[in-house]
Chain A
Amino acid sequence: RKEVEQDPGPFNVPEGATVAFNCTYSNSASQSFFWYRQDCRKEPKLLMSVYSSGNEDGRFTAQLNRASQYISLLIRDSKLSDSATYLCVVNKSRRSGGSYIPTFGRGTSLIVHP
């Protein structure tokens, strides 16, 4: 089983729709979680962190379910500009301590059409 798994999509939705992505992780010792956005032929950029209590930033809501080992991203009122690939990132601690090691999912492609 891969450490971090995402449905590659593409998710093809009309403007204004609500869309949700999930990301599952296999390492129960994972410490922190993030969603990144990557536009075509660009570098990944942080979209939002994922906190245990869930967090919201405008139209975007991220949640963490430690018991089931997944994180989710909900996008409300989709815009054309939301079209991108959404990558989840799971950080785990090194056995010897120190910095967290990030593992990226393969990403979920979102296409928002008029």
Chain B
Amino acid sequence: DAGVIQSPRHEVTEMGQEVTLRCKPISGHNSLFWYRQTMMRGLELLIYFNNNVPIDDSGMPEDRFSAKMPNASFSTLKIQPSEPRDSAVYFCASRFSRGSETQYFGPGTRLLVL
């Protein structure tokens, strides 16, 4: 079975550019999470969706960040404009919210903003 799929795996961009990260959750899972991980702050929850609806976006740093989930099999996290302090590993995770609550993570996108 395919796990959570993220793309791109690596992204290097210049400050001010728009960055779009993509995630395909595990089929059948109805909750999706976006996380950011840095050495300084650890793993931070940015936003999570339940049945494609954003439930909690209190972790989204600021208006430069936006996330969408147009259908059950696809989500995007967009940063516009990007800044060097956005450099981090961005993970997407999914789970079946009425099941074991176990989250399954994708391999992550390593973002470097120069």
Contacts and interface: CB of A to CB of B under 8 A. Distances in A.
Specify the main secondary structure of chain B where it touches its partner: strand
B100 A104 contact: no
A101 interface: yes
A87 interface: yes
Interface residues of B, number: 21
Interface stretch (B11-19, B78-86, B105-113): B105-113
Given A94-B55, A99-B55, A43 B102 contact: no
A100 B43 contact: no
Contacts of B43: 44, 87, 104, 106-107
Contacts of B45: 101-104
- Of B33, B56, B102, B103, most buried by chain A (CB within 10 Å of CB) is B103
B33 A105 contact: no
Contacts, number: 49
Specify the main secondary structure of chain A where it touches its partner: strand
B108 A46 contact: no
A93 B53 CA distance: 17
A91 interface: yes
A100 B43 CA distance: 17
A99 B108 contact: no
Contacts of A42: 107
Given A101-B45, A106-B42, A43 B97 contact: no
A28 B81 CA distance: 39
Shortest beta-carbon contacts, A-B, top 7 = A43-B105, A106-B42, A104-B43, A99-B97, A99-B50, A46-B102, A44-B105
Interface of A: 32, 34, 42-46, 49, 87, 89, 91, 94, 98-107
